[in-house]
Structure 1
Amino acid sequence: MPNSMRMTTWRSIALTVVAVLATALLSPAAHAAPHDGPAPRESRPVYSYTNAVRESVWVDTGLDGDGDGHSDRVAADIVRPREAALQGRKVPVIMDASPYYSCCGRGNESQLKTYDADGRVVQMPLFYDNYFVPRGYAVVGVDLAGTNRSDGCVDVGGRFDVQSAKAVVDWLNGRARAYTTRTGSTPVKAGWTDGKTGMIGKSWDGTIANGVAATGVEGLKTIVPISAISSWYDYYFAQGAPLYGSGPDWLSDAVESDAAHAHCAAVQKKLVDGAPRTGDWTPLWTERDYVKDAAKVRASVFLVHGMQDLNVRTKNFGQWWDALAKNGVQRKIWLSQTGHVDPFDYRRGAWVDTLHRWFDHELLGYRNGVDREPMADIERRPDQWVTSAVWPPRGTATATLRPAPGTRAGVGTLGLRPAHGTETFTDDPKLSETDWAARIDTATPDKAGFVTGPLRRDLRLSGSSEVTVRATSTTTSAHLSAVLVDLGPDTIRDYADAAEGITTLADRTCWGASTAGDSACYKETAAKTTQVGFTVLSRGWADLGHHTPDGKGRPLVPGKAYTLTLDLAPTDHVVPRGHRLALIVAGTDKDLIDPPSTTPTLTLDLAHTSARVPLAGGAAAFAGATAGSTPSATAVTPSAPASRPLDGVRAQRPAHPLPGQ
């Protein structure tokens, strides 16, 4: 793709010329339905973006969130090809339903919706309309209930949020009512569309796509959730351990409109009351759990996530992926080394091309082969990608790894054989996973560490791990962290930098047609990398008081042993030959979970502690990689830890992130 302003200017001019010539010269027969004549393989930019229809409708949701006695209406701004409508050709829809169109912005450049004097949308954030409208799609931007120009209240992933977008899908398929104004009575129908809808969006937007798909709504053909939540409980808590010092009420307050501020106090109170800081599972979380409804999903799913996303943490994609697989949903996945970043900003050319072919296949029915390509694309090193025919790859099996006391005090071993003994550590909320990993070969009172010897061959982890511990606490409360670490030097994306693995450049490239009010040209980016001495590849957290399966926490009895299984984040990572694999169990992970109310000392019973890790080749691969090796600090780790954390993490995510910015 072009990489300079001069080249992108010519590209933009070329696209405009194509669109104008197509409008002037192509006959209606040239825009025949996709299956008339030879089967097409790619939609082309033959429609004018400048002359596109721009309109707004307000769709009746059937709910009264703000309690004013009237059904809430949500605003849907539409950009669609005018020529297709004049020819009587119905077009599919690409929809992004978002709470961020007026408060916070979309994409790397924080774009907002803008409007003309008549209230028609001028700028639709992101490149979707610029690129896809000339190719015969309509693009619809929906303001979630309680945001921008929509009625109602923000309920953070609840039925108001989900119904905001589902009602629009229903309207596009002739099952719901819409009006030309927010309060008027003039109805409007979507006669210009065939009803086939694809939803896309990053974080909160992608979360709504997950939620709408989980309703099984007819007409939703595909979703593309990027860094999206699948269960809101797992955004705020990790098995009872609080991830942030706030709840969904803070997030609602951050995005709602002035009208919602004035009328939605009752909804805010429900968000506070239903999400206690105890971490207990409540009916509020049941309503916001889309995983339980994965069997209802009819749409295909193209899932994208950063494996170092510490905002929408990766358990969200792992449990959703597994549930979709269990229910036979057609799916595709991209996994990057970034944090909370859109693929448009780390793999732009390949992303636009793949997304184009995906929508062509799923919404237009084009036989372009995208469904026969490898299921997974994984970023192995910055800007270096590999594929897997399926994910996790065939031959992946769970290996049960056992920690054991080591020959050096406080530094244990990790192998396949059961062991006995104990390890003790004291929670220190001032320390994090990077502090623990940097001192893995030193006995410290804040962690229990277990390492393999230098590997004789590469070892690939693909999927979700879990760590089971039997632990005794000296106090009535305790939080636990479990971390898997690749011990060895590498160059990775600097996911803990403010931009989470990318650098924004000055040059722009163009992706579609532009108007005076809506440019298709965006600043280029490059991978921001850092040299590391180790890589944290998976982590998980839990409150020991939530050891029972009922989702309720209880005070601990000091001196009593409790068994708990921590869910670790899914990943796809290769520990190279010569590196070592480490398991660390400790207390509070600074900036990633909040500390407990006490400062416990915990003792692990190693005979009942283990890690179940998905390995390519299973236990046999682990045995082959570790045969003859002994745990040693003389592998390829640095001779001494630097004062700066060795995995490039300078500061963890902010305490109050917005899950879509």
Structure 2
Amino acid sequence: MPIPVRKPRIPWSTPLLAGLVALLAVLLAPPGAAHAAQDPAGARPPGGSRPVYSYDRAIRETVWVDTGLDGDGDGRADRVAADVIRPREAAEQGRRVPVIMDASPYYSCCGRGNESQRKTYDAQGNPLQFPLYYDNYFVPRGYAVLLTDLTGTNRSDGCTDIGGPSDVQSAKAVVDWLNGRARGYASRTGTGRVGAGWSTGAVGMIGKSYDGTVANAVAATGVKGLKTIVPIGAISSWYDYYFAKGAALFGSGPDGLAAGVESPGARDRCRAVQRRLAEGAPRTGDWTSLWSERDYLDGARKVRASVFAVHGKQDLNVRTKHLGQWWDALAEQGVERKIWLSTAGHVDPFDFRRESWVPTLHRWFDHYLLGYDNGIEREPMADVERAPGQWTTDRVWPPRGTRAATLRPAPGPVPGAGTLGTRPAPYGSTAAFTDDPGRSESDWAATVDRPTPDKVAFTTGPLAHDLRLAGSSSVRLTVTPQAASAHLSAVLVDLGPATIRDYAARGEGIRTLTERTCWGDGTPADTGCFQRTEPAAVSTDHTVFSRGWADLGHYAGLAHGRPLTPGTAYGITLDLAATDHVVPAGHRLALIVAGTDAGLLEPASTTPRLTVDLRRSAVRLPLVGGDDALARATADAGRPQARPTAPLTPYGPRPAGPTLLP
């Protein structure tokens, strides 16, 4: 499919000529093409919907939708502002259109996309600029684009509650309105009703970060009419955004985020909501009812929509743990899914693979919202970036034949620099480190073969064959602290030369250029032209590709953290972020265990010395080929395994001494 970058446009200083060109596009389109864009049962142009509608003449309007909630306690139901742009010609012909919706709290405070675009309005309050390219590209192709302000943000009533019932209802109510189940109004306070008879009722939600999170949450309600979602770098459980098994991740709590996104007028009226957010999310890391309300995983059983998930494997903002657990929950329900995994950080696919992304998204929406049988659901499920700009595909993901395999740490010739293999360590083997909150995973990886007091590291020998991990790993540790509190980090490292996206830099793996390309059509207020990007690459001899953290005081569960008894052994499992990474032949695989991961994890109240019982610790890896692939790669097949004499736990025998293993 040719790259849909239009030729230089007629200057918008000649609006009459531009309008004539748009009119000719409709008149000269193949018979039935304009109608097909709205009518899945009618004749369709081959291949997919085409840009046969004018963008400059599109209807632009705002509808205030009743959420049925009174989050700000002012005695009346909150209304959310839904800014709509839709083809005028379709309305004139009585043709209905499907809707692409992005519900967000960021349209006035922070902006959307790589250029932080905000909504703009004319003097009468009518929308002028719709951030991002969705309107420019899809409205001429027979879609409506609807951008919803979540409660408490921009022009909406109510209070934002950071992924809670109000946020979710903000967007769900709009889906209901589009399907005739909720009330819409022509103004924020008036009584004039507005219907959505122009809509087919078919809705696709899309968005990055918070926006994609709302798409996940609305899909988890099972609302009728939501046909597909495209969550990009999205959260699946808000607890896991702020904490990692009890350990607080850097940043403010949900009350701080609420204060950052709320409109100025909401800040006074929403103080009670902010207080509830702060009280319900203590920085102790304990699970509370607030987190239960904001955990969408259980709702996977209600999902009716197909899901096209996109995530950066090096996203340190919304970590891929969110993707992995959401993907697995959807798989259990048999939800139709597609996935793109990049090597960038928290970056939109429009900015890391634009020329492939837009036509792929176009075909996805054509299929699920317009009913085109274009085969996209039968194509390979996964696109995975291996190196900057280099992609592979998989028929399903994780690939068939992916099975859990176990690697075990063992002492090496030098304390603190051990080995990683399939045989358990001898009984009594230990390795110790002292938490240093000033050291990070990059510091640890750079000194993986050199003992340092802040970490212990374990490495395989050079691999005989490639070793591919696809999915979520975990590390089971038995640890004895010498203080009443302790944080733990575990990271997987690919030791060998590579060129990777510079995900730790400001652009998180992309470099923004000055040149622009245009996607769809535009007006002076909303050009549809965006700055190009290119991969920002860096050469390295070690790549951290998965990580996880925990507060040892939550060894017994998330409900309550407990003070530790110095000198007592505790067992805990660290969940490592999902990934798809190939450790090439000749490289080594490393597991590093340490304390606070500087810049990502907040320190514990103490900086203890911790001793790891190696016999009772192990890492579980989702390997393509399972144990057989591991044996080939580590050349360990056929070696006799040590026979433990104590009863086995999933990761080795229980310690004989005092322990609080769950």
Task: Report the TM-score range of the alignment, normalised by the length of the smaller protein.
Answer: over 0.9
Contact 1:8 1:509 in 2 (8 A): no
Instruction: Establish whether residue 482 from structure 1 lines up as the match of residue 490 from structure 2.
Output: yes
| Partner residue in 2 for 1:649 | none
| Partner residue in 2 for 1:514 | 522
Distance 2:431 2:8 in 1: 60
Distance 2:6 2:133 in 1: 20
Structure 1 residue 623, shift from structure 2 partner: 1.1
> Match of 1:460, SS?
strand
Instruction: Establish whether residue 581 from structure 1 lines up as the match of residue 576 from structure 2.
Output: no
Contact 2:457 2:593 in 1 (8 A): yes
Instruction: Establish whether residue 317 from structure 1 lines up as the match of residue 318 from structure 2.
Output: no
Given the alignment, which residue of 414, 419, 422 partners 2:420? Answer: 414
> Match of 1:435, SS?
helix
Distance 2:69 2:349 in 1: 35
Question: 1:5–1:206: structure 2 CA closer, same or farther, 3 Å change rule?
Answer: closer
| Partner residue in 2 for 1:626 | 634
Contact 1:241 1:593 in 2 (8 A): yes
Contact 2:434 2:607 in 1 (8 A): yes
Instruction: Establish whether residue 462 from structure 1 lines up as the match of residue 470 from structure 2.
Output: yes
TM-score normalised per structure 2: 0.92
| Partner residue in 1 for 2:354 | 348
Structure 1 residue 419, shift from structure 2 partner: 1.4
| Partner residue in 2 for 1:556 | 564
Structure 1 residue 20, shift from structure 2 partner: 2.4
Instruction: Establish whether residue 109 from structure 1 lines up as the match of residue 115 from structure 2.
Output: yes
Structure 1 residue 407, shift from structure 2 partner: 2.1
Distance 1:351 1:233 in 2: 30
| Partner residue in 2 for 1:272 | 278
Distance 1:497 1:39 in 2: 44
Structure 1 residue 550, shift from structure 2 partner: 4.6
> Match of 1:129, SS?
helix
Structure 1 residue 259, shift from structure 2 partner: 1.6
Structure 1 residue 9, shift from structure 2 partner: 4.1
Write the deviation string for residues 513-534 of structure 1: whole angstroms up to 9, x where unpaired: 0111101110000000001010
Distance 1:419 1:5 in 2: 59
| Partner residue in 2 for 1:442 | 450
Contact 2:5 2:519 in 1 (8 A): no
Distance 1:466 1:212 in 2: 29
Structure 1 residue 326, shift from structure 2 partner: 0.8
Instruction: Establish whether residue 126 from structure 1 lines up as the match of residue 132 from structure 2.
Output: yes
> Match of 2:194, SS?
coil
Structure 1 residue 82, shift from structure 2 partner: 0.7
Write the deviation string for residues 347-375 of structure 1: whole angstroms up to 9, x where unpaired: 00100010000000000010111111100
Structure 1 residue 38, shift from structure 2 partner: 6.3
Distance 1:15 1:537 in 2: 50
> Match of 1:218, SS?
coil
Structure 1 residue 314, shift from structure 2 partner: 1.1
> Match of 2:193, SS?
coil
**Aligned pairs (5 A) from 1:65-464:** 65-420=71-426, 421-464=429-472
Distance 2:327 2:571 in 1: 27
| Partner residue in 2 for 1:645 | none
> Match of 2:365, SS?
helix
Structure 1 residue 293, shift from structure 2 partner: 1.1
Write the deviation string for residues 572-612 of structure 1: whole angstroms up to 9, x where unpaired: 01101110000011100001101100111111111110000
Question: 1:385–1:15: structure 2 CA closer, same or farther, 3 Å change rule?
Answer: farther
| Partner residue in 2 for 1:20 | 23
Cα-Cα RMSD: 2.0
Structure 1 residue 39, shift from structure 2 partner: 7.3
> Match of 1:131, SS?
helix
| Partner residue in 1 for 2:655 | none
Distance 2:421 2:335 in 1: 36
TM-score normalised per structure 1: 0.93
Residue identity matched to 2:280? G
> Match of 2:462, SS?
coil
Contact 1:3 1:507 in 2 (8 A): no
Contact 1:4 1:507 in 2 (8 A): no
Structure 1 residue 448, shift from structure 2 partner: 1.2
Contact 1:73 1:152 in 2 (8 A): yes
Structure 1 residue 171, shift from structure 2 partner: 0.2
Question: 1:245–1:136: structure 2 CA closer, same or farther, 3 Å change rule?
Answer: closer
Residue identity matched to 1:387? T
Structure 1 residue 86, shift from structure 2 partner: 1.1
Write the deviation string for residues 191-222 of structure 1: whole angstroms up to 9, x where unpaired: 00010000000000000000000000000000
Question: 1:46–1:616: structure 2 CA closer, same or farther, 3 Å change rule?
Answer: same
Q: Which runs of 5+ in 1 are unaligned?
A: 630-661
Write the deviation string for residues 478-510 of structure 1: whole angstroms up to 9, x where unpaired: 000000000011000000111100011111111
